[in-house]
């Protein structure tokens, strides 16, 4: 498959992987500083998934690993605890299904949530991932 990408060119298997990484970094530096980059396209991607903790300590992913950037996603979550005027939002990175196995990046409290007549409230969470900001 890789050979096909390079128009049938024979691949060299004897190159040190560290040298390949260094070469790729040099190409990216050339592109970012305005060089021609010799027709190579480099995409920024999310290195790990990002998400929030939901009921039962579940990691609800908002941005998946290897997602091309920039990327924006909004999702609505329901808060079932009646008469709750605030909620603790915990942001994690990682690939595991439970947050206790992922890395906590930040937590903050969302306050002054107005509850609906049924006692069920909804909040809208947006993740906006842009490498240039």
Look at the pTM and tell me if it is higher than 0.75. Answer: no
pLDDT higher than threshold 70 for residue 113:
yes
- Please tell me whether residues 114 and 68 are part of one structural domain: yes
- How far is Cα 46 from Cα 40, in angstroms, rounded to an integer? 19
Do both 124 and 80 map to the same domain? yes
92 occurs within a structural domain = yes
Residue 25 sits in which domain range?
2-39
* Residue 106 to residue 113: CA distance in whole angstroms: 20
Same domain, 15 and 73: no
Residue 44 in any domain: the answer is: no
Same-domain status, 67 and 88: yes
Same domain for 56 and 20, yes or no, is: no
Do 64 and 114 have their domain in common? yes
Same domain (yes/no): 22, 57? no
- What pLDDT does 16 receive? 79
Task: Give the count of domains, the chain.
Answer: 2
pLDDT single digits (tens) 68-92:
999 999 999 988 766 677 889 999 9
Quick one: 55 and 96 in the same domain?
Answer: yes
Angle at 64 between CA 3 and CA 102, to 5 degrees: 115
pLDDT, mean of residues 42-57: 91
60 or 9, which is more confident? 60
> What DSSP element (H or E) covers 32?
helix 17-32
| Helix, strand and coil in the chain, % to nearest 5 | 20, 35, 45
58 in any annotated domain: yes
**Where is mean pLDDT largest: 31-35, 36-40, 50-54, 86-90?**
50-54
Confidence of residue 51 (pLDDT cuts 50, 70, 90): very high
- Residue 96's nearest CA partner among 58, 129, 47 is 58
């Amino acid at each position: 498959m890789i050979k096909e990408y390079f128009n049938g060119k024979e691949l060299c298997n004897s190159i040190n992987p560290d040298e390949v990484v260094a070469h790729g970094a040099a190409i990216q530096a050339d592109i970012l500083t305005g060089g021609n980059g010799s027709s190579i396209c480099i995409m920024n991607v999310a290195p790990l998934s990002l998400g929030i903790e939901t009921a039962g300590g579940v990691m609800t992913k908002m941005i998946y690993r290897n997602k091309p950037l920039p990327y924006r996603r909004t999702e609505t979550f329901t808060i079932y605890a009646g008469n709750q005027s605030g909620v603790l939002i915990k942001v994690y990175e990682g690939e595991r299904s439970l947050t206790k196995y992922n890395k906590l990046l930040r937590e903050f409290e969302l306050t002054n949530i107005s509850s609906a007549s049924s006692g069920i409230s909804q909040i809208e969470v947006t993740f906006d991932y842009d490498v240039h900001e």
